[in-house]
Chains A and B, each alone.
Chain A
Amino acid sequence: MTEEEAKITFWQTLLLIIIAYVSCVVVHLVKLILFRDRRDESLWPANRRKPVKTLIVMGSGGHTGEMVRLLSALDFRHFAPRLYLVARTDDMSAKRVQQLESSHVSTADSFQTVAISRSREVHQSWISTVLSFLISILDSLRILFSYQPDLILCNGPGTCVPPCVIALLLRALFIKRSTIVFVESICRVTTLSLTGKLMLFILADRSIVQWPELHAKYPQTVFLGRLV
């Protein structure tokens, strides 16, 4: 083979590999969105020994309050380290995280809080919302690419969408598999929030609701009773 022919073959091979990879990613993404496994009790191998690397999104206001209540019975030794995503302008949630973590004395050093841009402020205009959403996506990319959690916990509102979008993409790209669990607010008795619908139909592995009426309306959700 001449040097010319060898070069062409190298580029052809590279192209083939890239095409193969992209095809796998597309198929994987389609499978994740359209054929998500919703019935298995466990999504990971049994008899787990290693703790679960966890990312928790603090949505602000009432959502933070609900998340703190959700985490109140969690065994922090099994779910460590914990990275809390808090909106940049949300001091109250950062404080609540501190309070929650300091009430678990033995595991106090295995958590971190990281600020993320809000996807949207209240009353924000349409155009600037698109911009801030894109900034949140970039923020999420930076955070998730370096942290790579096993588990993502979120309960709305919009702040949790960019991190979950990125997590789904990283999973489709075969870079990191994160399990996304979304818990709809206790406020939602008969209707799912917009974030809830996004989670249920596209982004989350499990969507938990807290009223039987809502579970009956969306049978793919999980109902465990009132959690908060």
Chain B
Amino acid sequence: MSVTHKESGSKIVFVTVGTTQFDELITQVLHPNTLEHQILEDDGYTHLVLQIGLGVEPPIPISRRIQISCYHFKENISSDMEKASLIISHAGAGSCLEALSVAKPLIVVVNQKLMGNHQLELAEKLHSEGHVYMCYPETLKTTIVDFRTTKLQKFPRNNPVAFSAYLEKLMGFQK
């Protein structure tokens, strides 16, 4: 486990879109309504970190109290996830599971432009079991408000050992 060191008094929101392009989400997050009136004022966030994947670099608004930074890709975003107090993620399974495994409050934002949208299945399941908040870019603001008042269910650990044991048995290795 890497060491989580917060600069004293910093409170970070981490936004991730994985290996995709999700400009609608980035635009909504950087909207003055979200920054100033929703995130900034009431919740005391000091930093906003945007992982924008294949997306277009957005114009960074000048905010009085939040430091905004953005990058396209990183080898490993888990350290950024661990330092965050809130994670806003696209509905990709990898990002969701990584965020859940560091046990951070997670808002999953679904991209309606994606064909077939099989991401929706997982997001809805996680949402219905109370592990994450789920929304669309348009409803992000109201979801952030809801997030303050409702609690999330802890997400159970995954079990890759079950897979390994299954394969061993299948291929003839005796226990």
Please report A residues at the B interface, Cβ cutoff 8 Å.
Answer: 41-48, 52, 61-62, 65-66, 69-75, 78-79, 92, 95, 150-151, 179, 181, 183, 185-191, 193, 206, 208, 211, 222, 224-228
B61-97 residues at the A interface, CB under 8 angstroms:
75, 92-94, 97
Q: Which residue of B lies closest to A65 (CB)?
A: B94
- Nearest CB of chain A from residue B91's CB, rounded to whole Å: 9
Determine if B163 and A187 form an interchain contact, defined as CB atoms under 8 angstroms apart. no
How many contacts A-B (CB < 8 Å)?
Answer: 109
B interface bracket (residues with beta carbon within 8 Å of A)? 20 to 34
Complex interface: stretch among B30-38, B141-149, B164-172: B164-172
Determine if A187 and B93 form an interchain contact, defined as CB atoms under 8 angstroms apart. yes
Complex interface: stretch among B5-13, B40-48, B119-127, B132-140: B119-127
Can you offer 5 A-B residue contacts whose CB atoms are under 8 A?
A43-B171, A65-B93, A181-B170, A186-B93, A190-B121
Contact of A61 among B19, B167, B168 (CB under 8 A): B19
Contact A186/B97 with A70-B163, A92-B19, A224-B162 known, Cβ cut-off 8 Å: yes
Instruction: Give Cα distance in the complex from A228 to B164, angstroms.
Output: 12
Determine if B160 and A44 form an interchain contact, defined as CB atoms under 8 angstroms apart. no
Interfacial chain A residues near B163, Cβ < 8 Å? 70, 73-74, 183, 208, 224, 227
Interfacial chain B residues near A224, Cβ < 8 Å? 159, 162-163, 166
Q: Which residue of B lies closest to A123 (CB)?
A: B115
Contact of B118 among A179, A191, A206 (CB under 8 A): A191
Contact A72/B160 with A92-B19, A187-B119, A191-B121 known, Cβ cut-off 8 Å: yes
Interfacial chain A residues near B93, Cβ < 8 Å? 62, 65-66, 185-187, 228
Contact A73/B161 with A62-B93, A188-B121 known, Cβ cut-off 8 Å: yes
Contact A69/B160 with A187-B118, A190-B121, A191-B118 known, Cβ cut-off 8 Å: yes
Contact A47/B172 with A66-B94, A73-B161, A227-B158 known, Cβ cut-off 8 Å: yes
Determine if A228 and B160 form an interchain contact, defined as CB atoms under 8 angstroms apart. yes
Determine if B159 and A62 form an interchain contact, defined as CB atoms under 8 angstroms apart. no
Determine if A44 and B158 form an interchain contact, defined as CB atoms under 8 angstroms apart. no
Contact of A42 among B92, B160, B164, B171 (CB under 8 A): B171
Those 5 A-B pairs whose CB atoms lie nearest each other, nearest first: A48-B172, A44-B172, A65-B94, A73-B160, A73-B164
Determine if B92 and A226 form an interchain contact, defined as CB atoms under 8 angstroms apart. no
Please report B residues at the A interface, Cβ cutoff 8 Å.
Answer: 18-19, 75, 92-94, 97, 118-119, 121-122, 124-125, 156, 158-164, 166-174
Interfacial chain B residues near A74, Cβ < 8 Å? 160, 163-164, 167
Instruction: Give Cα distance in the complex from A188 to B167, angstroms.
Output: 21
Interfacial chain A residues near B124, Cβ < 8 Å? 189
Contact of B171 among A44, A62, A188 (CB under 8 A): A44
Contact A48/B171 with A73-B161, A226-B156, A228-B160 known, Cβ cut-off 8 Å: yes
Determine if A78 and B119 form an interchain contact, defined as CB atoms under 8 angstroms apart. no
Interfacial chain B residues near A43, Cβ < 8 Å? 170-172
Instruction: Give Cα distance in the complex from A190 to B162, angstroms.
Output: 21
Contact of A46 among B118, B162, B166, B172 (CB under 8 A): B172
Instruction: Give Cα distance in the complex from A11 to B82, angstroms.
Output: 73
Interfacial chain B residues near A61, Cβ < 8 Å? 18-19, 92, 94
Interfacial chain B residues near A45, Cβ < 8 Å? 172
